[in-house]
A and B are shown apart, each in its own frame.
Chain A
Amino acid sequence: DAGVTQSPTHLIKTRGQQVTLRCSPKSGHDTVSWYQQALGQGPQFIFQYYEEEERQRGNFPDRFSGHQFPNYSSELNVNALLLGDSALYLCASSSGFGGSTDTQYFGPGTRLTVL
């Protein structure tokens, strides 16, 4: 049973560029959440996707956008990259039915470095 997978593992970009990160959820899960984790900090919620729609969004600018595909996989796009966007980006999947009871299972993350 495959867990949550993310690609790529590492990415280096320069300021102003755009980046796309990818995530495949755990088998049987239909909800994908994205988190940003800066060095030495806890993960911060970016947004959650369910049924190909953005269900909820955290306190992140519109430069951060996403998409969910019919097979439940998801992409995170970040435009006009800033140095401050350098972080570990974590994808989590869950069943999406239970509200606060849902356990989110995380992937290995994509480490983005912006130069």
Chain B
Amino acid sequence: AQKVTQAQTEISVVEKEDVTLDCVYETRDTTYYLFWYKQPPSGELVFLIRRNSFDEQNEISGRYSWNFQKSTSSFNFTITASQVVDSAVYFCALSEAFTGGGNKLTFGTGTQLKVEL
């Protein structure tokens, strides 16, 4: 069975600090996709990034970057120069494909990020 663990329940930082959110996953699939979503207080899950299992090159997109390491089954997400608007719950998710098409997401329990002035 697929499993996603986000050990950090809550993180508080001061604006402009960098913050890294940890994610560890378990899967028996050889090809899979990992996602990060952001959930502000309004409740809507906002898609941030997607990463496939066969490309371990780390990337940067604006203030976001991610570190994917297949050897340790980790997919960590970093926000550089955090802002108050980054305050939200962040979810890591693992995609499981269905035979014949489609997929479902298995989510971690989320990390509450609070960015203070």
Question: Which A positions have Cβ atoms within 8 angstroms of B?
Answer: 31, 33, 35, 40-45, 48, 50, 55-56, 58, 88, 90, 92, 94, 96-109, 111
State A106–B50 Cα separation when bound (angstroms).
Answer: 15
B102 touches A55 (CB 8 A): yes
Chief secondary structure at chain B's binding surface: strand
State A34–B52 Cα separation when bound (angstroms).
Answer: 23
> Known: A45-B105, A50-B102. Contact between A100 and B44, CB under 8 A?
no
Q: Which of B35, B108, B109 contacts A103 (CB 8 A)?
A: B35
> Known: A90-B45, A108-B42, A108-B43. Contact between A99 and B103, CB under 8 A?
yes
| Residues 73 to 107 of chain B near chain A (Cβ within 8 Å) | 91, 93, 95-98, 100-107
> Known: A42-B108, A43-B107, A45-B106. Contact between A99 and B43, CB under 8 A?
no
List chain A residues, Cβ under 8 A from B102. 31, 48, 50, 55-56, 94, 96, 99, 102
State A109–B98 Cα separation when bound (angstroms).
Answer: 24
List chain A residues, Cβ under 8 A from B97. 99-100
Q: Which of A58, A98, A104, A108 contacts B44 (CB 8 A)?
A: A108
List chain A residues, Cβ under 8 A from B29. 100
> Known: A55-B98, A100-B97, A103-B50. Contact between A43 and B43, CB under 8 A?
no
List chain A residues, Cβ under 8 A from B68. none
Q: Which residue of A lies closest to B49 (CB)?
A: A103
State A56–B103 Cα separation when bound (angstroms).
Answer: 9
What's the least CB distance linking B95 to chain A, in Å?
A: 4
List chain A residues, Cβ under 8 A from B103. 94, 98-102, 104
> Known: A90-B45, A107-B44. Contact between A33 and B98, CB under 8 A?
no
State A96–B103 Cα separation when bound (angstroms).
Answer: 8
List chain B residues, Cβ under 8 A from A45. 104-106
A58 touches B104 (CB 8 A): yes
B98 touches A42 (CB 8 A): no
Q: Which residue of A lies closest to B110 (CB)?
A: A42
Judged by a CB distance under 8 angstroms, whether B25 is at the interface is no
State A97–B44 Cα separation when bound (angstroms).
Answer: 24
